[in-house]
């Protein structure tokens, strides 16, 4: 039996000595120094590898995550590096994957599991809602479930049915789950490391259309900052980011809608309108302070999300901001979201997805004339 | 003997190891792997309903399915737990009638299963019970009042699963079987020899997670014993509406694991079969499925009316197979139990009943702020806000009621 697998040092008490955080430098040696063009996929893959180096209780499993490296290659090379005991394929059964992860987390591991596509996670819904979300509460805090459920989500890739859902609202609505969604390559690394370190279960929503987005990122620096940031208690959780500063109106977005909002802000700037873009980053917990500070400053807001608007994260954001910023608002808060229709076939998705023009139209409607 | 020559994963050393370990285990019995996986032709029964030890040749055994009679000390201990378990069931049902508890799904009639499920395990092993398995959890050593907290109404669970190595009694059917698989998997990866016993009922075998759990345990070759108490009814729906398999134990072979069926009202046979299952699992021969053929003597819960779906003659037939009286007769006839012993055991049962009455009659003060304390490892800003709102609401209520009292003076 592998002597390299030990109990998680942070969760559920029974501590074993050998966590090998120093080994993270092994991954660093292969990288070029300084900022390099890095894809979101590479950042996530590096985060997984670094977390596995840092803590031998971190395990990765799911469908096709082993030899193949995942259908999006996010787990590429992990089985080769860490062996079949630490990164492995399971039988094709999502409830089984999540349920087994619950048991592993109860018994000292930090499982990071992959649901292959958003809509393929639905068979696991009962395990997620009835156990992942409730175990800590049910046991009055005795049991912690330090597990991460990674879900590639959203459309814009011309995917067939069941491959393009924005399912974040189901999880955000469930008390006891944290919901993270990165919108930049650097956040992909940072937030996945933090999700794995968290003693709470995290549903980690990965915008699949951004997997091949490149940013100039220094992974070595991010790794160093993660180690220091964790010890200093500086985390992304509950901290939205000002993705682009502005003064006239606030665009509130998360995950795949952030680049769309930034493009809209760029276009608006050409017309002389200064839009601030807020990247929510963690839907649960939600950063009311950063979002509301921006809206109080600009007095106008548009919330942008790919998911259907009805009874969604976007409706929650509108409600929260309205409750807190009513007297600062010059106009009702608008939303640009997917229509309340099942996610459409590839040739129709351009009509469904929030785009720059639809966002600018909503901004134009924010009662600018005196 | 190859059991998976056509679908061995080309790179999976774990599958090869699993196959070898199973084949090695089967070699000891001198039978084929298929014969090892298939349950014996008849259920294993050692003591008949009249309390007589059945001759070995008639116990339902066949090559590879022979079970030695457990030792006298183990049987006496089991009898004591049976008597305590019966008293616990009847005391809890009485507490529900008195309004002390919201509900109690009684295992009256299934005590032999409850007792054997706990006694076959070692301290470092794990158990994953259902809502009807309170007696099993108590037999495992968990404080009776803590076990009943789930039905008392002040929290959804009363004991620490990590300390007791018992999962919280699970309500969504068979979802806990996967947790058992995960606990066993984690232990195996660390090289520990933990065995996990996962419990469910006959109706639960229709659930998808039953299939996923058995398949995962078999594929990863994990030391999990799936213990199915076939009590014939899922609330009102009889077994015939759940499955037309030859027996529930036969489902094992479809997953590549061994199945066995046993008289669920015969604690001697249950202990014999489960003890061997635990030993095999601990030695690395993979998961097993044990079906106990028993009967739910009472309604599903106090909210159920079992006269709407079953005949009293059927219940009477099973009353004659009672697990407690059967064992009492057997031990008395063997000279292992006398009147003094019986009295001593009944006193112990009474002490547990008193503990339950006292513990559950107590009006436990609930702390409303506890609502927010265990949602996450630390409360989010939103939960802090809601906690403050509730605190303020309660403070205003308290102030209002104290000023009302002042005014009344």
The pLDDT value recorded for residue B373 is 97
Q: Are residues A161 and A279 in the same domain?
A: no
Q: Are residues A191 and A253 in the same domain?
A: no
* Active-site position among A53, A131, A136, A163: A163
Would you say residue A318 lies in a domain?
Answer: yes
| Number of domains, chain A | 2
Domain range for A287 is 241-364
Q: Are residues A253 and A164 in the same domain?
A: no
The pLDDT value recorded for residue A253 is 98
Q: Are residues A215 and A317 in the same domain?
A: no
So where are chain B's domains?
Answer: 13-361, 370-408
The pLDDT value recorded for residue A23 is 41
- According to DSSP, residue A235 is labeled -
Q: Are residues A174 and A323 in the same domain?
A: no
> Domain boundary at A232, A249, A271, which?
A232
- B182 with A138: Cβ contact below 8 A: no
From chain A, the residues in CB contact with B162 under 8 A are 12-14, 106, 142-143
Give the minimum alpha-carbon distance from B148 to chain A in angstroms, rounded to a whole number.
Answer: 14
For A86, the 3-state DSSP assignment is coil
The pLDDT value recorded for residue B286 is 95
Give the minimum alpha-carbon distance from B165 to chain A in angstroms, rounded to a whole number.
Answer: 10
Q: Are residues A127 and A88 in the same domain?
A: yes
Q: Are residues A286 and A189 in the same domain?
A: no
Query: Residue A38 in contact with residue A212, Cβ under 8 Å?
Result: no
Query: Among residues 137-156 of chain B, which lie with CB inside 8 Å of chain A?
Result: 155-156
The pLDDT value recorded for residue A32 is 73
* C-alpha–C-alpha distance, residues B360 and B197, integer Å: 28
The pLDDT value recorded for residue A233 is 64
- Closest-approach residue (CA) in chain A for B155: A138
The pLDDT value recorded for residue B17 is 63
* C-alpha–C-alpha distance, residues A75 and A97, integer Å: 16
The token pair that represents B91 in the structure block: 């005391």
Q: Are residues A86 and A198 in the same domain?
A: yes
Q: Give the containing element (helix H, strand E) for A179.
A: strand A178-180
* C-alpha–C-alpha distance, residues A240 and A147, integer Å: 22
The pLDDT value recorded for residue B23 is 80
- CA-CA-CA-CA dihedral for A273, A279, A285, A290, to nearest 10: -40
| pLDDT tens series, chain B, 409 aa | 333 334 444 444 455 666 677 788 788 888 998 899 999 999 999 999 999 999 988 888 888 898 999 999 999 999 999 999 999 999 999 999 998 888 999 999 999 999 999 999 999 999 999 999 999 999 999 999 999 998 888 899 999 999 999 999 999 999 999 999 999 999 999 999 999 999 999 999 999 999 999 999 999 999 999 999 999 999 999 999 999 999 999 999 999 999 999 999 999 999 999 999 999 999 999 999 999 999 999 999 988 899 999 999 999 999 999 999 999 999 999 999 999 999 999 999 999 999 999 999 878 889 999 999 999 999 999 999 999 999 999 999 999 988 888 888 7
The pLDDT value recorded for residue B4 is 39
In the CATH scheme, what is the code of domain B13-361? 3.40.50.970
Residues in chain A where the model's pLDDT stays below 70: 1-4, 6-30, 230-233, 370
Q: Are residues A198 and A345 in the same domain?
A: no
> Domain boundary at A193, A211, A232, which?
A232
Give the minimum alpha-carbon distance from B277 to chain A in angstroms, rounded to a whole number.
Answer: 21
Q: Are residues A105 and A137 in the same domain?
A: yes
Q: Are residues A220 and A253 in the same domain?
A: no
CATH code of the domain containing A261: 3.40.50.920
Would you say residue A172 lies in a domain?
Answer: yes
Would you say residue A2 lies in a domain?
Answer: no
CATH code of the domain containing A160: 3.40.50.970
The token pair that represents B40 in the structure block: 């014996």
The pLDDT value recorded for residue B397 is 93
Would you say residue A133 lies in a domain?
Answer: yes
Q: Are residues A51 and A188 in the same domain?
A: yes
Would you say residue A12 lies in a domain?
Answer: no
The pLDDT value recorded for residue B18 is 64
Query: Among residues 47-106 of chain A, which lie with CB inside 8 Å of chain B?
Result: 59, 67, 84-85, 88, 90-91, 93, 95-96, 98-106
* C-alpha–C-alpha distance, residues A266 and B167, integer Å: 54
- A130 with B382: Cβ contact below 8 A: no
A136 belongs to the catalytic site: no
């Amino acid at each position: 039996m592998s002597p390299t697998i030990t109990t998680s040092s942070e969760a559920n008490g029974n501590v074993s000595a050998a966590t090998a955080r120093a080994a993270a430098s092994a991954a660093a040696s292969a990288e070029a120094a300084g900022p390099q063009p890095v894809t979101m996929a590479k950042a996530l893959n590096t985060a997984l590898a670094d977390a596995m180096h840092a803590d031998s209780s971190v395990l990765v499993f799911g469908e096709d995550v082993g030899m193949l490296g995942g259908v999006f290659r996010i787990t590429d090379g992990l089985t080769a590096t860490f062996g079949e005991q630490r990164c492995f394929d399971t039988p094709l059964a999502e409830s089984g994957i999540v349920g087994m992860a619950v048991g592993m987390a109860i018994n000292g591991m930090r499982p990071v599991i992959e649901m292959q596509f958003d809509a393929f996670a639905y068979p696991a819904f009962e395990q997620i809602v009835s156990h992942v979300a409730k175990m800590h509460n049910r046991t009055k805090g005795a049991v912690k479930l330090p597990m991460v459920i990674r879900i590639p989500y959203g459309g814009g890739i011309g995917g067939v049915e069941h491959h393009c859902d924005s399912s974040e609202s189901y999880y955000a609505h469930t008390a006891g789950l944290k919901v993270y969604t990165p919108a930049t390559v650097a956040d992909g690394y940072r937030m996945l490391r933090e999700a794995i370190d968290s003693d709470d279960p995290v549903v980690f929503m990965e915008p699949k259309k951004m997997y091949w987005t490149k940013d100039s990122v220094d992974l070595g620096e991010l790794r160093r900052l993660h180690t220091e940031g964790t010890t200093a208690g500086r985390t992304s959780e509950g901290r939205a980011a000002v993705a682009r500063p502005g003064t006239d109106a606030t665009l509130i977005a998360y995950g795949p809608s952030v680049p769309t909002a930034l493009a809209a802000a760029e276009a608006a700037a050409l017309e002389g309108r200064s839009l601030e873009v807020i990247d929510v980053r963690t839907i649960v917990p939600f950063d009311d302070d950063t979002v509301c500070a921006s809206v109080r400053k600009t007095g106008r807001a548009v919330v942008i999300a790919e998911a259907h608007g009805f009874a969604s994260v976007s409706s929650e954001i509108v409600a929260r901001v309205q409750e807190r910023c009513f007297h600062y608002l010059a106009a009702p808060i608008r939303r640009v979201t997917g229509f309340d229709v099942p996610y459409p076939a590839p040739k129709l998705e351009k009509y469904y997805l929030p785009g720059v023009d639809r966002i600018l139209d909503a901004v134009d409607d924010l009662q600018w004339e005196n | 003997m190859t059991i998976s020559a056509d679908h061995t994963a080309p790179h999976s050393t774990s599958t090869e190891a699993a196959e070898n370990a199973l084949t090695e285990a089967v070699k000891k019995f001198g039978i084929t792997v298929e014969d090892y996986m298939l349950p014996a032709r008849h259920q294993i029964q050692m003591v008949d309903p009249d309390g007589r030890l059945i001759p070995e040749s008639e116990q339902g055994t066949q090559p590879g399915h022979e079970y030695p009679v457990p030792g006298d000390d183990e049987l006496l201990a089991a009898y004591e737990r049976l008597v305590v378990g019966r008293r616990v069931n009847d005391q809890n049902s009485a507490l529900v009638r008195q309004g002390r508890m919201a509900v109690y799904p009684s295992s009256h009639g299934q005590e032999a299963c409850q007792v054997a499920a706990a006694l076959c395990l070692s301290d470092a092993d794990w158990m994953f019970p259902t809502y009807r398995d309170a007696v099993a959890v108590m037999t495992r050593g968990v404080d009776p009042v803590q076990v009943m907290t789930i039905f008392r109404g002040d929290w959804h669970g009363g004991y620490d699963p990590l300390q007791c190595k018992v999962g919280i009694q699970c309500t969504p059917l068979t979802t806990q079987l996967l947790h058992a698989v995960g606990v066993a998997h984690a232990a195996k990866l660390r090289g520990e020899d933990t065995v996990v016993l996962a419990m469910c009922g006959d109706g639960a075998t229709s659930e998808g997670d039953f299939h996923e759990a058995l398949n995962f345990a078999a594929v990863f070759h994990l030391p999990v014993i799936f213990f199915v108490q076939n009590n014939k009814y899922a609330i009102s729906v009889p077994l015939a509406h759940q499955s037309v398999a030859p027996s529930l134990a036969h489902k094992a072979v479809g997953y590549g694991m061994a199945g066995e069926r046993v008289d669920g009202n015969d604690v001697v046979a249950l202990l014999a079969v489960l003890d061997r299952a635990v030993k095999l699992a601990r030695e690395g021969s993979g998961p097993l499925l044990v079906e106990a053929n028993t009967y739910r003597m009472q309604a599903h819960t106090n909210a159920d009316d079992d006269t709407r779906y079953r005949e009293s003659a059927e219940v009477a037939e099973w009353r004659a197979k009672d697990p407690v009286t059967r064992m009492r007769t057997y031990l008395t006839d063997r000279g292992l139990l006398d009147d003094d012993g019986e009295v001593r055991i009944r006193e112990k049962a009474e002490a547990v009943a008193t503990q339950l009455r006292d513990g559950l009659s107590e009006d436990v003060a609930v702390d409303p702020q506890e609502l927010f304390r265990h949602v996450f490892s630390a409360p989010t800003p939103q939960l802090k806000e809601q906690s403050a709102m509730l605190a303020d609401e309660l403070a205003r209520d308290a102030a209002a009621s104290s000023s009302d009292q002042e005014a009344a003076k």
